[in-house]
A = this chain, B = another copy of it.
Amino acid sequence: MVTLKQLAKELNVSISTVSKALNDSEEIGEETRKRVKELAKLYNYKPNKVALSLKQNKTKTIGVIIPDILNHFLSKVLFGIEREANLHGYNIITCISNESLQKEKDSLQLLANGSVDGFILSIAEETQTENEINHFKETISQGLPIVMFDRVAHDVKCDKVIVDNFEATYNATKNLIAENRKHIVFISKIDNISVGKLRERGYNKAMLEEGLETNVLRILKGDDTQQKIKRLYKKHTEMDGVVAADSASGVIAINMARNFKKKVPKDISVVGFSSKSVSNHSVPKLSIIRQHAKKIGAQAAQLLIDRLNSSSETHNDYTTKIVKTTLVKSKSTL
Residues of A within 8 A of B (CB): 1, 46-51, 53-54, 59, 61, 69-70, 72, 75-76, 78-79, 82-83, 86, 91-96, 109-115, 142-143, 225-226, 248, 251-252, 255-256, 258-259, 277-278, 280-283, 285
When chains A and B are docked, how far (Å) is the Cα of A109 from the Cα of B96?
A: 26
Q: Are B69 and A95 in contact (CB under 8 A)?
A: no
Query: Which residue on B lies nearest to A225, using beta carbons?
Result: B280
Q: Which residues of B contact A113 (CB under 8 A)?
A: 1, 46-49
Q: Decide if B76 touches A114 in the complex (CB within 8 Å).
A: no
What distance in Å separates the Cβ of A257 from its nearest Cβ neighbour in chain B? 9
Question: In the complex, A107→B332 CA distance in Å?
Answer: 41
Q: How far is the CA of A280 from the CA of B110 in the complex (A)?
A: 36
User: Is B70 in contact with A70, judged by CB distance below 8 angstroms?
Assistant: no
Are B280 and A248 neighbours in the complex by a CB distance under 8 Å?
A: yes
A sample of 29 inter-chain contacts (CB < 8 A) reads A1-B113, A46-B109, A48-B114, A49-B114, A49-B115, A50-B53, A50-B114, A51-B54, A54-B54, A69-B76, A69-B78, A69-B82, A70-B75, A70-B76, A70-B79, A75-B75, A78-B94, A82-B95, A86-B95, A91-B111, A91-B115, A92-B94, A93-B93, A225-B280, A248-B280, A252-B280, A252-B283, A255-B281, A256-B283
Oligomer copy total: 2
Pick from B1, B91, B114, B281: contact of A251, CB under 8 Å: B281
Q: Which residues of B contact A114 (CB under 8 A)?
A: 1, 48-51
- Interfacial chain B residues near A281, Cβ < 8 Å: 248, 251-252, 255, 278, 281-282
Instruction: Output the nearest chain B residue to A89 by Cβ-Cβ distance.
Output: B110
Contacting residues, chain B, for A115 (C-beta < 8 A)? 49-50, 91
Q: How far is the CA of A79 from the CA of B91 in the complex (A)?
A: 18
A287 to chain B, nearest CB (A): 15
The complex places the Cα of A235 from the Cα of B7 at a distance, in Å, of 68
B226 touches A280 (CB 8 A): yes
Q: Cβ of A76: which chain B residues have Cβ within 8 Å of it?
A: 69-70
User: How many whole Å from A103's CB to the nearest CB in chain B?
Assistant: 9
Chain B's closest residue to A63 (CB) is B91
Contacts of A225 in B (CB 8 A): 280
Q: Which residues of B contact A79 (CB under 8 A)?
A: 69-70, 96
